[in-house]
Structure formats: C-alpha cells, structure tokens
Structure 1
Amino acid sequence: MRSRDALAAARKSLAAISDTPGLDAELLMAKAFGIERETLLLTCLEEPAPDAFEDLLGRRARGEPIAYILGRRAFWTIELEVGPGVLIPRPDSEALIEAALAQFGEAGPRSILDLGTGTGALLLASLDQWREARGIGIDRSERALAVAHANAERLGLSARADFRLGDWSEGITEQFDLILCNPPYIAAGAPLPVDVAEWEPPMALFSGPDGLDDYRRLAPLIGPRLDAQGLACVEIGAGQYDEVASLFAHEGLRTAARRDLAGRRRALLLSH
C-alpha cells in the first residue's frame, strides 16, 4: 500500500482515540521511515508504507501516548527524550516560561529551582533560554531523574543542571531567583483520556480528593526558598486559581496569574 493510502486509513482508525489522528499517523509513518514528518510529506507519500508502520499504529490504537512511541517531545526551544514512567511535557506548561521571560527579560535569572522536574522540561528550557543561569531539579522518581539527566547531557546543559532525588524542597537551604513547579493537580478519580489514565504515572497526575493536596504542601515551602526579588511560577489546573492562590496568600506571598494559549489561568505567579 502506498504511504498516502496507509495514512488515510490510519487517520480513520485513530479518530476514536486521538484528537489529532492525522498528525499522529504522519508522525508514526515518519518514524517508520526514520525521517522527519516534513520530509515524509514532501517526498515519500507515493512510496510503499514501511512494514514497521503497522506495529507503531497498533501501539497508538491501544492507547499508548504518541510521545512514548516516538520517544521525544518538543517543549519551548528544546526537544526532550520521554518514556514510560515519566509525565509527558505539555504546551500549556510553557506559560510558566513565558511568565518568567516577562519578569526577567533577556538578562534572565541566575539561579533556578525546579520542583517536580520530571523530564527536566522546565529547568532545561530555562537554561537554554538563559545561558548564564544555573539550576537544581528535584524529583522523587528515580526514573524521572534518569530521563532528566539524559536530556541535560544530550542538550549540552549538564554542567549547569543539578538533578537531585527528593520530596519537593527537602534538603534545599538556599534561595533562588526563579522557582518553577508543575505539581500533580488532578482530583483522584477524575476522568482522563486513555492515553493519560492508563499510561502516565499516577504520582505525577493525582493529588488527593480535590486535586489540591500538593499545593497545600507547597504553600509554606515556596516563600523561604524564594529570593526577595524573585518569582515563583506554579502550574495550576483549570478553575483552581482562587483556591490555590488563597493557600499561598495565607503564607504571605503576593499572587497573580498568567493565561495559557486557551485563555485559562495556567501559571500562578508568586512573589514577596
């Protein structure tokens, strides 16, 4: 079967489990060829579909996230390796980097703390943005830290990125210009797409009956680690701003918000 025809059939088969079946099919076909998607679309549509395509398509049809199948995910200005056991970075989280850029400009922060670093997405994107900055990424998952280390090495940022095993800010005594955090914020039992609920790590998704348990833990921790002129950017879920902001305001921090591309208040901004 020509690649063009195989893609058309794949779009139909993936429509039930993906919001972007056409894009998914093209990315999987490109991986099967071992080329980039743009090259596929420009040069390979009349070629026979590679044998590997059917296996990749089957994995996606069973719900496996496209990022896990491809083994990578673009985020801000960098591309990250991803895999099972580690949360997949989302474009919504770029709102935290945008907020930091608005605050610090091109000069940037010098010291960065990334709590719950996962793949290292927020820290490594920041270090790529600001070449004089250094940072620490904390995570309680050894699997996540292994992925973050590998990403830092591949991106040439390992000399400025220190990854540590820990529970939020335990063991950290210094203060930072910029604190970044994308904590779990989904209520236990909330319905999720199959490719999230059955594949991504629950410890990176769920946070108690109302989704706020980790914010309650973080609220008293952020202020002591934040420099007097610093900024903390904490990701929040849809509709959570008022409740989460009140937790941090109770600790004496000033609160504001930055919206994501969909217009939702996505980044809670904290300062002294």
Structure 2
Amino acid sequence: MSGDSSVATLLDMGVAALKAAGVENPRAEARLLLAYATGLDKAAQIRDPQTKVTTPQQHRYDGLVSRRAAREPMAYILGHREFYGLEFDVNPAVLIPRPETELIVERGSQLLAGAHQARILDIATGSGCLLVALLTSLPGSSGQGSDVSAPALEIAKANARKHGVDAATEFFLADWAKGIEGPFDLIVSNPPYIPHAEIAHLQPEVALFEPLMALDGGTDGIEPYKAMTPDLMRLSGPTTRILLEIGQGQENVLDAWFAQHGFVVGMHRDHAGIVRVLELCWPVTFDRSLHP
C-alpha cells in the first residue's frame, strides 16, 4: 500500500485480506487492528472515514493484518484478553483465557463468599487468570499458582501485579503441585484436556499458535487429571472444594475416576449446556443438587 491512505481505504484492504484468509468477522477485526495501529477507535473511524493515516501507522497496520491473516490469534497480536471483566496480558507462552472458564471463577466466588483469609491453589495457572480473578473477587484471600512453564509464570506474576493482588499471591515452577503444602480451601485448574490426535484438527489459531503443553491431554485427554489426582488428595482437607475444567464428553469417565479415589463429584454446565466444570469434595461436604 502507498502512504497517506485513508481510514476507509485501509479498512477495506484489511477486510479483504482477512476474509481471504478465512477469518471470521473480518470487518470487526480489521477495525480493531486499525484502532491499535493508529489510535483511532471505531467511532472515529466511522465519523471520518477519509482521515489520512501516516506512513508509519500504515506500515504498522499492514504488519498487524499480515499476522492476523496468518491466523495468529487476535489476543496475541494485541497482547491482552478480557476475562471475568478484567484485562489479562497474554503472549504465546500462555493459553488464551476462554469465556467458558469463567464458570470456575463464578462457582469459586460463590463457595468462598463470606470466607475470611481463604487459601486458593491454581494448578497449571498459565496466565494466572483464574487465580487473579478469584482474588479480586474475594478480598482477604490469598493464593498460590503452579505451572511447569517459567515463561507462563512470568505472565501470571505480571497479571497479579496489574490487578493489585501480587502481595496475596505466590507462584511456583512445579509439575502439577509437587512441593506445595496444603490444605487449601479451594483448588482450581484448567489443565490440558484435548486428545492429542484432535489438536491438528482445531482452528489454526489454536493448533498453530497456542502452547502445545497447555492443550495436549495425551491419548484420551484424561491423563492430566490422573496425574494431578495424588496432589488433589494430598492438598485437600475435609471441607476443600476442587473445581476442574474438562473437555466435552469427559464427565462420565472422570466421574468414575475420581469416585474411585474417594471424591464425590458435582457437575456444572456452561452456557451451551455442556458439562464444563467438575466440582470435587469429600463426602461430608457433598451437595447432591450438583449431580444430575
């Protein structure tokens, strides 16, 4: 593209490039990229579409469009993603937070409502979105996050600082929760649960760009839950609740697995009606209304 192009011209060219690449909602995404490159928000773009864009801004926009056309996730391009009403820094070292994962924060906040100085553990914390969102919802609580990825932990620490809960958090480089001492009032985790053979068939944004270690659940997607079970048992007390995100259709196998280890299992469905979160506890605290 030549310099001094208008907003309208750049927008149309961006839309065409993204549409040709198979990106959903190409116009909305092109507007976001144009705003990021120029500082002109959607309202300004619509109000005066003939505004001229400087050559450096245009070059920046071209680069952003090229990245998105290669199917790099928008969250990685912009460097952030909203989760539970909070903006989280993200990069390719961490899984991009999903709306369905907010169900864990909603349920966890309900369980600990009114609790004083509750202790929370987030296993495989990634961006730290679960732990940070819970701590912002539960003043006075503290939490620990573990991850096997050192770069992911740096992002989690940055997000804790960003939202003012860094003094209430500790992060550990660990395989699941090895070396961490309990008990905790609440344990949460969104582990990798996609069967290995299915990863290549996911959207390019996921399969090509998100960290494999945060996606790959082994042969059947169940292996991470089995691997963390000893830690869940060791770190949970009589009244501890455990909230685990799971993949579609995994609830029956995991219900049986955790029942074999003494847990009673409740289930929570997401907005699509899919069982998305398992709630584990020891029999003394079981709420039968959670089991369909």
TM range (shorter): over 0.9
Match of 1:3 among 2, 7, 10: 7
Q: Name the aligned partner's letter for residue 219 of structure 1.
A: T
Change (3 A) 1:178 1:29: same
1:68 aligns with 2:76: yes
CA contact (8 A) 1:109 1:177 kept: no
SS in structure 2 at match of 1:189 = helix
Match of 2:266 among 256, 263, 272: 256
Following TM superposition, by how much is the alpha carbon of 1:126 offset from its aligned partner in structure 2, in angstroms? 0.6
Q: Taking structure 1 as the reference length, what is the TM-score of the superposition? A: 0.92
SS in structure 2 at match of 1:87 = coil
Larger deviation, residues 112-121 vs 80-89: 80-89
| Residues in 2 aligned to 1:29 and 1:208: alpha-carbon distance in whole angstroms | 39
Q: Name the aligned partner's letter for residue 186 of structure 1.
A: I
Match of 1:110 among 97, 102, 118: 118
Q: Name the aligned partner's letter for residue 18 of structure 2.
A: L
Q: Name the aligned partner's letter for residue 72 of structure 1.
A: H
Match of 2:144 among 118, 136, 159: 136
CA contact (8 A) 1:96 1:180 kept: yes
Q: Taking structure 2 as the reference length, what is the TM-score of the superposition? A: 0.86
Q: Name the aligned partner's letter for residue 176 of structure 1.
A: F
Greater RCO, CA 8 A, separation 6+: 1
Point out where structure 1 has 5 or more consecutive residues left out of the alignment. Answer: none
Q: Name the aligned partner's letter for residue 24 of structure 1.
A: E
Change (3 A) 1:269 1:40: farther
CA contact (8 A) 2:79 2:89 kept: yes
1:172 aligns with 2:172: no
Change (3 A) 1:218 1:107: same
Change (3 A) 1:109 1:209: farther
Following TM superposition, by how much is the alpha carbon of 1:42 offset from its aligned partner in structure 2, in angstroms? 6.0
Q: Find the counterpart in structure 2 of residue 236 from structure 1.
A: 246
Per-residue CA deviation, residues 61-115 of structure 1 (Å, 9 max, x unaligned), is: 0121111100111111311111122211111111111121232335477110000
Q: Which has the larger radius of gyration?
A: 2
Following TM superposition, by how much is the alpha carbon of 1:40 offset from its aligned partner in structure 2, in angstroms? 4.5
Match of 2:33 among 22, 25, 28: 28
Q: CA RMSD in A?
A: 2.0
Output aligned runs, 1:31-50, within 5 Å.
Answer: 31-34=36-39, 37=41, 39-40=43-44, 43=47, 45-49=49-53, 50=57
| Residues in 2 aligned to 1:160 and 1:45: alpha-carbon distance in whole angstroms | 47
SS in structure 2 at match of 1:31 = helix
CA contact (8 A) 2:109 2:138 kept: no
Change (3 A) 1:45 1:242: farther
Match of 1:59 among 55, 67, 71: 67
CA contact (8 A) 2:182 2:235 kept: yes
Structure 1 vs Structure 2: percent identity of aligned residues?
A: 37
Q: Find the counterpart in structure 2 of residue 149 from structure 1.
A: 157
Per-residue CA deviation, residues 153-193 of structure 1 (Å, 9 max, x unaligned), is: 22221100101100111001211111110000011121111
SS in structure 2 at match of 1:69 = helix
